[in-house]
Structure 1
Amino acid sequence: MAVTERRLKQREQQKESILEAARAIMLKEGWPAVSIRKIAELIGYSLPVVYNHFENKDAIMEDFIRHGFILLGDAALAAKAQSADPAQQLKLIAIAYYDFALSHREYYQIMFGLGVPNCDRAKEIAEIGRFGDIIISSLKQLQGGECSPQTTLKFHTFWSILHGLSSINMINLTAAPGELQQKVLQDAIQGFIMNINN
């Protein structure tokens, strides 16, 4: 039993070392520079050891996506817990989302490389679904407690607002100072909430 536990612990440590190396390469050189070979060289593992944990670079990316959505979901939950009012919850979630995008750029870019995930992707990756559920629960409260096609529409509109504003500011298409960016975000969310039942 002790031998099995030791092997499992060693395997987990190897996996974490691989992810840490991938993270280090990503932070220094960007995601396109990450490769199985580079990871193996950085931590002194053979290629088969790395492939034993991750089939390919896409599998490592999926692990980053999962972890990123855990971080984003935790930030959204913490923001939501600050108020019982669903409209205020959406405002706080919006700010937390925006802050996450700017403070975790590398995760955000991997998580949303191709835009907002579709419903099928959210069903496949539980962490994406969890984040969506946090927003949907506040939307349902504002719309009388039931999930309707209108709730789904408003969910996608809300997420699109957050994603669009975060992405625009991330790539510096605007030279607006941080305070103005926050006001734009708050204005967009306030307008969204005022029209929630339209």
Structure 2
Amino acid sequence: MGSKERIQRQKDDNRINILTASLEIVKKEGWQALSMRKIADIIEYTAPMIYEYFANKEAILNELARQGFILLSKQIKIAKESETTLENQLEAMWLSYWDFAFEEKELYQLMFGVGTQCCAQSDDYKMPTAYCTIIVNVIRQIIIERNGNEETVSRKYFTFWSVIHGLISINLVNQGNGEITNQEILKDAISGITQTLSD
């Protein structure tokens, strides 16, 4: 490996360490506790050195959110590929979305600004949409088979998302209704909305 490659590899490693430390702080203390100084303490850098990799804390948040959306898209794609019928794919993808929200709670809060004043969506931030494209394509296949149109596809996607994201938000901010009740509500919502796709 040449010197340029080694330098680049070191830079990549440092960048990963900064992001890993940031998430570690958040999981222990919450988003409000994140600071450049705390990150520097964990990775044993000086705070100014971190600015060589990220212009400010907002840049770190944007990158963490971006990585969260990539991970969410991967999980939804895996869920889709685990089923054969369109309706079962739709259910599997929304259940995977739900699982992601609680397995990666801190990332989900950041990605969608749930229960925190910290939000990655600055003026120049564009939310990645690969995860919803996968879901929308399945909804489209179901609806188009029944002579639907793109307006209906979009409306049905946002109906799904509003209900499921709303239920997730209730549970992240408040304690919700308990796991069994939540699963029943979630599956009822998915099943109910899926049935309307054929109307």
Q: Where on the TM-score scale, by shorter chain, does this alignment land: which range?
A: 0.7 to 0.9
Query: 1:4-40 CA deviation, whole Å, 9 max, x = no partner?
Result: 1111011111111111111111111011111112111
TM-score (norm 1): 0.88
Aligned partner of 1:183 in structure 2 is: 184
Runs of 4+ in 1 over 3 A off after TM superposition: none
Query: 1:78-105 CA deviation, whole Å, 9 max, x = no partner?
Result: 1111222221111111111111111111
Aligned partner of 2:144 in structure 1 is: 144
Aligned partner of 1:8 in structure 2 is: 8
Aligned partner of 1:164 in structure 2 is: 166
State the AA in 2 paired with 1:140. R
Partner Cα separation in structure 1 for residue 91 and residue 171 of structure 2 = 18
Q: Secondary structure at the match of 1:143?
A: helix
Partner Cα separation in structure 1 for residue 149 and residue 196 of structure 2 = 17
8 Å contact kept, 2:108–2:114 = no
Q: 1:42 to 1:147 in 2, by over 3 A?
A: farther
1:22 aligns with 2:13: no
Task: Quote the offset at 1:170 in angstroms.
Answer: 2.2
Equivalent residue pairs, number: 192
Aligned partner of 2:82 in structure 1 is: 82
Query: 1:152-193 CA deviation, whole Å, 9 max, x = no partner?
Result: 11111111112111111223343x331221111010111111
Relative to structure 2, which stretch is displaced further, 74-83 or 146-155? 146-155
Give structure 2 stretches of 5+ with no counterpart.
none
Query: 1:129-168 CA deviation, whole Å, 9 max, x = no partner?
Result: 1101111111111111686122111111111112111111
Q: What's the % identity of the aligned pairs?
A: 36
Map of 1:15-94 to 2, 5 A cutoff? Answer: 15-94=15-94
State the AA in 1 paired with 2:156. K
CA RMSD, aligned part only? 2.4
8 Å contact kept, 2:19–2:60 = yes
State the AA in 2 paired with 1:163. H
